[in-house]
Amino acid sequence: MTASSSASAERRTVIPERRTVVLLTGASSGIGEATARHLASLGYALVLTARRGELLERLAADLGPHVLSVAADVSVPQDRARLVHAALERFGRIDALINNAGIGMGKGHWWDDPEPLRVLDVNLYAPIELTRLVLPGMLERRAGSVVNIGSVAGRVATHSMYSASKFGLRGFSLSLRRELLHAGVSVSLVSPGYIRTPLTSGTRLPMPGPEVVARAVADALLHPRREVFAPAWYGPLSLLSGLMPGLSDLLVQRLMGLREHNRAPKG
């Protein structure tokens, strides 16, 4: 054994077969942080990534020795490659990929934003490219899981760029699931509705906390599902959008109007 290979072996943590290695993006806050904490409590080994390295390091320190934090921007190809390399260097394999990282447009119209396509880069292109990087190892072992965090906005159109990214992610997830039906790799889509996270911090609608999504993700790893809504009652609501689009237009318009009203400063 060469000196370099010996050093690499010393750095690698040996993970028993019973401890599943999960790569989770967007882990520094909100749904990602709640999911990381829940999965760690269930005994998973975790590779956590987000752009905010300090928050990641603190979270990893809280969660114990079987956690690796890698600060990265998943929309950057070099960062994606570095992330996957770091995960394999530490744990030797990636058993599950959870594509959670996501951004919205913020205030204003997408056509006034100088970089509206950045939403697609993070919410759609990055999950596709990360899946492409981890899939060969899963296919070789004939075992693995991909869980994509979509949105009810991927079923009920709301904000153009955000909904475009989530409609696309839903299509990618459902089709990839069919492509891998006999390959030993499962693909699940978890579609949250309004959840209390930093992304919805300006919204004063009643919302559950991110733990409801974390539990849905954990369940999807153990019992893969085509698509699951969190909370579950968003499922019938999204079905209504397809069956009665006119009524859905009115409901979405009222909801978005209420959201903007609640965002407005009070004085």
- Looking at the domain assignment, is residue 4 inside a domain? no
- pLDDT tens figures, 157-188: 888 899 999 999 999 999 999 999 999 999 99
Closest CA to 196 of 231, 220, 162: 231
In whole angstroms, what is the distance from residue 249 CA to residue 22 CA? 39
pLDDT over 60 at 4, yes or no? no
Q: Residues of the chain with pLDDT > 90: what percent?
A: 67
pLDDT band at 111 (very low <50, low <70, confident <90, very high): confident
Instruction: Tell me the two tokens of residue 102.
Output: 């996501």
Q: What is the pLDDT of residue 252?
A: 60
- pLDDT tens figures, 86-108: 999 999 999 999 999 999 877 77
Q: What is the pLDDT of residue 202?
A: 64
Q: Of the residues 44, 162, 194, 234, which is catalytic?
A: 162
- Looking at the domain assignment, is residue 34 inside a domain? yes
109 vs 177: which has the higher pLDDT: 177
In whole angstroms, what is the distance from residue 135 CA to residue 94 CA? 9
pLDDT over 90 at 5, yes or no? no
The DSSP element (H or E) to which 145 belongs, if any, is strand 144-149
- Looking at the domain assignment, is residue 174 inside a domain? yes
Q: What is the pLDDT of residue 110?
A: 78
Least confident of 16-20, 24-28, 45-49, 148-152: 16-20
18 vs 48: which has the higher pLDDT: 48
- Looking at the domain assignment, is residue 1 inside a domain? no
Q: What is the pLDDT of residue 246?
A: 62
pLDDT over 70 at 233, yes or no? yes
Give residue 230's domain range: 9-263
DSSP 107-123: SS-GGG-S-TTHHHIII
Q: What is the pLDDT of residue 141?
A: 97
Mean pLDDT estimate for the chain? 86
User: What's the CATH code of the domain at 42?
Assistant: 3.40.50.720
Q: What are phi and psi of 66, to 5 degrees?
A: -95, 40
- Looking at the domain assignment, is residue 213 inside a domain? yes
Residue 239's CB is within 10 A of a number of other CB atoms, namely 13
56 vs 112: which has the higher pLDDT: 56
Residue 44: active-site member: no
Residue 28's CB is within 10 A of a number of other CB atoms, namely 24
Position 205, amino acid: L
Instruction: Tell me the two tokens of residue 242.
Output: 């397809």
The owner of tokens 């959201």 is: 259
- Looking at the domain assignment, is residue 3 inside a domain? no
What torsion do the CA atoms of 249, 252, 253, 256 make, to the nearest 10 degrees? -160
Q: How many domains does the chain have?
A: 1
